[in-house]
Amino acid sequence: MANISARRSVMTLFSSPACALSHGARLVIYEKGIGADIEFYDPNDPPEDLLELNPSGISPTLIERDLVLYDSRIIMEYLDERFPHPPLHQMDPVSRANTRMLIKRIDQDWYQLMDEIQFSGEKKAARAKKMLKESILSAEPVFASRTYFMSDEFSLTDCVLAPLLWRLPSLGIDLSTPSGAITGYAQRLFKRNAFKLSLSDVEKTMADAHYK
């Protein structure tokens, strides 16, 4: 493994062009201005270089010399620690632990439902779509209370939420409300230059028309 990864002189992120988890990792890279190569690939036909380092071919996979990471949230935290400016995590241990718990809940409650919508049968997908919409709408007061999610500063949590919110219009989920709190939050994320740069060509078609 060491010899293979050593052939790469630059940090490389192998990424599916449509994967929300990969999108989150790409967003962290662009928010921090990290000089990394992003290699898009078909997850149904992973490149040999990737399979040699990570036989599962899972997306995303981050390679930096002898280091190989293939969990999106671990990759995002590693990048934030490896390149500490600008910070996307608060520095004190209690705040960092609370953020990790919040991201875990977003993954369990919202990302899992999004996966069911995308990869389940029609009946289960319809149920998951209803549940996801209702669950996010129930959090509208949280979206309305601060500039970003539970914070006045852009954070790792926003990097987790942005790819999910971007995909919802293409899944038939409209989060418009009279207050516009959720769509307003989403617009703040999507207008960031790093978010625009993080989009693959496939992802650009998911919600461009909806958010113009």
Known catalytic residues? 19
Q: 172 near 148, Cβ under 8 Å?
A: no
Q: One-letter amino acid identity for 190?
A: F
158 to 15, 89, 154, 165, 173: CA distances (angstroms): 19, 11, 6, 10, 19
Q: One-letter amino acid identity for 132?
A: L
**CA–CA dist 158, 200 (Å, integer):** 18
Q: 211 near 44, Cβ under 8 Å?
A: no
User: Terminus-to-terminus CA distance in the chain, angstroms?
Assistant: 45
Residues 6 or more apart from 112 whose CB is under 8 A from it?
none
With CA atoms as reference, report the closest residue to 166 among 148, 196, 186. 186
